[in-house]
Amino acid sequence: MPNTKQWRLVATAVAVTLGATTLAACGSDDDSEAQSGPVSLTYWTWTPGMDKVVDLWNKGPGKEQQITVTVKKQASGDTLVTKILTAHKAKKAPDLVQAEYQALPTLVSNDALADISGEVGDAKKDFADGVWQQTTLGTDAVYAVPQDIGPMMFYYREDLFKQYGLKVPTTWEEFAQTARDLKKKAPDKDLTTFSANDSGLFAGLAQQAGAKWWTTSGEKWKVGIDDAATQKVAKFWGDLVKEDAIDNQPMYTPAWNKALNTGKQIAWVSAVWAPGTLTTAAPDTKGKWAMAPLPQWSASEDVTGSWGGSSTAVTTDSGHKAAAAKFAAWLNTDGDALAALAKEGGIYPAASGAQLSGAFLKSPDFFSNQSDFYTKAAEIAKTTAPSAWGPNVNVAYTSFKDAFAAAAKNKSDFGAALKTMQDDTVADLKKQGFGVAE
């Protein structure tokens, strides 16, 4: 990634396409705010129970510092990003926003987020390098404080693996062979499915393989969605689908839920939040699953991808940047705040120390048979690979869903689908007016 000055030069194009007449300097005009009285901040977030967490601040540190935060619940994903950008164009964005990591480049390139590197103190020490990097975009700036993460893992039916004499795969080669072995022993069952209805899964798998989908070259963006690492991932899953070693149906459907609940599918490549999904999707299988590290491309490697996660950012429209940054740092590093976030919002904290305390001293109820669930999860989280997001992730994700859904359904070439995803993303950047390095 470029330094901050270069980043702003790359970013100018998107500001122009959105009708901005000027590109403001990074940060608020009130950076030198001399807080002489009470400060009221507004926070847009979708996390369940966030109002209860914020109450802890308002009754404790916030009361002492005369900083009150009001929660305004919002929709998540692209809907919130669009709303933030619309509000920012009118210079009416809230003081604080919850933002998924992949949305940060879009918000930064539109000058919607402030650089709070001077206001968050030593918060960096609380996070793994790969996690903190997602909020700096590779610059000296800090555009948000990490809140929750989704390190990826391998989930499997422990009882059925034992029944069919299967070993937990530690490499992707072993994973493929396990899928084939299961088919031979139980033709009516599948190890798992390839699903195209959640782009984050594929992005995380590519990340684990070393993919860097967006980088910069001088003042231009370079898109590497069809790089060698991602081609390897696409070919791997495409080959398994073509040979009928795994299913080709999407996740999160009634049919998928039934397959998990009845043992028709006996494994799932997912993330740390999977227990909550399985509780709803496969209620009859409680206590029958186990979690292990994600299979590796090489037996000597120890790395995982990330599926999901968000941060707390301060907007450039805030007149109280320092106060807002204090709250963002407290929310995501304070022990009481993180315990409340886990209890009320069900999040897995980005802060490393919180991953082995409070709510995470005991395994999820659905995994009561695996006493070391969170101990293992914390170790896996430390191995999260760095990510590389760009300003039009939404376009890439939409293209993935369309192209890969068709390829999976037709059992056609996943490499061609990947090229479509690459071409669509590049074309959109050019349409927006970005410089694109070929």
* Digit-coded pLDDT (tens) for 47-71: 999 999 999 999 999 999 999 999 9
Q: Is the pLDDT of residue 16 over 70?
A: no
For 366-386, what is each residue's pLDDT tens digit? 999 999 999 999 999 999 998
pLDDT tens per residue, range 159-196? 999 999 999 999 999 999 999 999 999 999 999 999 99
In three-state form (DSSP H/G/I as H, E/B as E, the rest C), the secondary structure along the chain is CCCHHHHHHHHHHHHHHCCCCCCCCCCCCCCCCCCCCCEEEEEEECCCCHHHHHHHHHHCHHHHHCEEEEEEECCCCHHHHHHHHHHHHCCCCCCEEEEEHHHHHHHHHCCCECCCCCCCCCHHHHCCHHHHHHHHCCCCCCCCEEEEEEEEEEEEEHHHHHHCCCCCCCEHHHHHHHHHHHHHHCCCCECCECCCCCHHHHHHHHHHCCCCCEEEECCEEEECCCCHHHHHHHHHHHHHHHCCCCECCCCCCHHHHHHHHHCCECEEEEECCHHHHHHHHCHHHCCCEEEEECCECCCCCCCECEEEEEEEEEECCCCCHHHHHHHHHHHHHCHHHHHHHHHHHCCCECCHHHHHCHHHHCCCHHHCCCCCHHHHHHHHHCCECCCCCCCCHHHHHHHHHHHHHHHHHHCCCHHHHHHHHHHHHHHHHHHHCCCECC
- What's the pLDDT at 12? 38
pLDDT at 29: 40
- Mind listing the pLDDT tens digit for each residue in 256-303? 999 999 999 999 999 999 999 999 999 999 999 999 999 999 999 999
The answer, as to whether pTM is greater than 0.85, is yes
pLDDT tens across 205-258, in order? 999 999 999 998 888 999 999 999 999 999 999 999 999 999 999 999 999 999
